[in-house]
Amino acid sequence: MSDFLDRSAKIHLLKEPVVKRLCELLDRSSSKGWRRLGEIVISDRRFKVSSDDMEMCSLTVLKLEGSPSRMLLRLMGDRGCTVGHLTDYLHALGNAEALHCLKPSALQVLIQPQSVALVSGHNLRLSCHAVGKSPVQYQWFKTKEEVPNSSCPDLVISPVQQKDAGFYICRVNCGDSFEFSQWAQVDVLNVAMSYAPGHSYQSLEGRMKLVIQPQPQRLYVGDALQLECGAVGRPIPRYQWHRNGAPVPNGTKRKLTVPHVMQDHGGRYRCEISSSSSERLWTNEVDVAVVDVYAIGGASSELFLNSIPEKLYATDKVALLIGNLSYQNHPQLKAPMVDVYDLTNLLRQLNFKVVSLLDLTESEMRNAVDEFLLLLHKGVYGLLYYAGHGYENYGNSFMVPVDAPNPYRSANCLCVQSILKLMQEKETGLNVFLLDMCRKRNIHDDSTPNVVLRVTANIVFGYATCQDAEAFELSSSGFTNGVFVKFLKKRLLDDEKITVVLDRVAEDMGQFNATKGKQALEIRSSLSERRALTDAIMPSDNVAHAHSRQWAKAHELPETMCLNFDCGARIKLGFAAEFSNVLVIYTYIIKKPEEMSFCQAHVTDFSQDLDVDPKEMNRETPEETGIYLLSSSLPQHCLYTRLSSLQKLKEELVFTVCLQGTFAAMADDPVHWTKSINIGKPLIARLDLHRAMRRNSCLQTCLMPHSPSHSPCHSPGPDHCHLLYGSHYAQDHSRLSPQHHYLEVGDSAPGAMGGSFYENLSQCRYDPMYDSGGGLSSSPGRLSIPIEASDDITELQTVFINSLHLQQQ
């Protein structure tokens, strides 16, 4: 342990008790006080403290409890002075007592417990880690009472209950010295189990998750109003209720209570939920109707209350989100990953059980649909979102798996209407399909669809584009949404009928100059009731609890682990989920022995099922290992590893944690310690989507009755297809290669940040096939599906660049 605090730390990072004691000593000393310190600082011209500044410091004595020393330290800190500089100045000043303030105590709390909000029934973990010159002991307290059996750095309560809510603190002892940690508040939310399986509450160190929505109220004057909302996360969220758009005075708690309402308490209420990281969420807006029974009479008041439309409910909400981007035989996509991630977070705020999956093969997609169907029953709201390559024949939409051959047909793909037929058999309350793919006809698929659907008034299709047209994604150096989700995510939380929401998305897309005349949202609906994605959940008696529990297990993260090694080092092994089939593992050194000059922990020896690239493991930043979307939610100063395609895992996930350390006494030769870790089957791996397709699965219904049973590569394509690029025939292979799959419309946008702005419009979700020779051909196995001819690329370039300029203004 160093004799002094970190010399590179800025002065303003000193803890308040240290600053307070230091100011007291400097204020009261005449010969070795703040004035003499100021003279020394003035002589060091690096920080440009002047005599005028000293005069300003002296005037602070005129203020109540004013401190010239505090003002001087603040000036020094603002001008870049560090603890090291201050230590040198105090040495020159000869004030040993003040210098002693900068020495670390014999006991230091390095990791403070953090306030957290979580759901009843889950696991609570509060951590406090300290270092001292001798062994450290811990004791946890809840308010003033000792917590039984809590003498470890980590306080774990499993499962946590509402009675466990409150304030916690840890006392740390080291010999005769002791320190208290900071207080940590624990808020325990009571959420119906019908919601819990869809939400793992796994990233408490990351983004907030909205888990309780307020409900509409119909009250008489004098009744009690109680509105409740809730979010989970670490640190604990903050709340501010709003009525008719204005903040409610003193409405800063999860529960808004008015003991005796008056008519002017009626209106539309919603709550703004925020965190210390400036993240904000809004709840649904709900109506509170208040009627004066004496003013309009008893019978009339009943009539008034009954005239308010009854709120529709779902018995549950289930969503399956699939994003295919890493195609084996077709152009790669980028936007589906971002689109699925954003929609996952939004749907979870609406209390959907969500499973989000990337890059599924045909068998994995069919098995995922089977698991999705198992969660559906009477009254459930079912939502399917798909982003990737696709096509449409005879009004039936087909989703293309990542392992689809070139060319592909219905036998290699999943028919959306066949999935709808199976959903109808479950007597669902609402069926929503959001298809973010192209809808061009597949000329290699000559099968005749034979899907007979029931007539039900609860079906909504939202197509990202019109029939026989492409869907676009905006491509840039970073990660961006496709055009559809770019506008959908702004409207998805609106408390409106789902068709109204989609109508507004269509209007927004229609104003986007970049795709005007190229892509337009198409809505097909038979929905007769005012059903919305924001509708509350009222579980029925026949909920399939067994399947819900299985789904819950498939979305639980492994518990964070603290590993102790024989050398005395301790590391934290943490987990986070980017998607239901993408696991992030991070390692962090909690304790390093003093005699060890270097210490690092990494993970290795993963199952070959996962095909992990060693070059992308144990990286110092999340982005280096491909973690782009979750990076801001992960703890810092760790080594990160991203495991994708968990659905391919056949056995329990066993890997090795390797600790590497060097000692100065051993000529810095590295020493290794290892531990084998078994975390079972994490996340979606528990559902065994890798298994062979069951004969009673959705396969039988998804396949068209007359689709070819032999390899699709033997079916010849039509001989009249030509591919146009711009206004000319494409004559060579290079012009049709994947790197030319983007329309070059943004070479250098004037006025863009950094001098240039590269953002292109990509015809992304419809396969541009090319032959392997020098020219185009319609022979078998070559040209599969042509893209639409584009005679007005120049016009599109101008429109898109202009739209970028408008966005930047």
Q: Is 91 a catalytic residue?
A: no
Alpha-carbon gap, residue 318 to 49, rounded angstroms: 63
SS3 sequence of 697-762: CCHHHHCCCCCCCCCHHHCCCCCCCCCEECCEECCCCHHHCHHHCEECCCCCCCCCHHHCCCEEEE
Beta pairing partners, 322:
357, 386
From 159, 155, 177, 153, select the one nearest 167 (Cα to Cα): 155
Q: Which burial class, exposed, middle or buried, applies to 64 when counting CB atoms under 10 A from its CB (0-12, 13-18, 19+)? A: exposed
Alpha-carbon gap, residue 205 to 354, rounded angstroms: 20
Q: Is the CB of residue 474 less than 8 Å from the CB of residue 486?
A: yes
Q: Is the CB of residue 548 less than 8 Å from the CB of residue 175?
A: no
SS3 content of the chain, % helix, strand, coil (to 5): 25, 25, 45
In terms of DSSP bridges, do strands 724-725 and 570-579 run parallel, antiparallel, or are they unpaired?
Answer: unpaired
Alpha-carbon gap, residue 455 to 436, rounded angstroms: 25
SS3 156: strand
**For 476, left (φ over 0), alpha (ψ -120 to 50), or beta?**
beta
Q: Is the CB of residue 102 less than 8 Å from the CB of residue 25?
A: no
Alpha-carbon gap, residue 326 to 190, rounded angstroms: 40
SS3 461: strand
Residue 84: partners with Cβ closer than 8 Å, 6 or more residues away: 7, 8
Please pick, among 128, 170, 438, 764, the residue that the annotation labels catalytic. 438
Please pick, among 129, 242, 330, 389, the residue that the annotation labels catalytic. 389
Which residue's structure tokens are 């024949």?
Answer: 393
Give me the phi and psi of 68, to 5 degrees please: -60, -35
Beta pairing partners, 676:
656
Alpha-carbon gap, residue 593 to 591, rounded angstroms: 7
**The length of the chain, given as a count of residues:** 809
Q: Is 23 a catalytic residue?
A: no
In terms of DSSP bridges, do strands 145-146 and 561-564 run parallel, antiparallel, or are they unpaired?
Answer: unpaired
598 C-beta neighbours (distance < 10 Å), count: 12
716 upstream amide cis, omega within 30 of 0: no
Residues marked active site are found at 389, 438
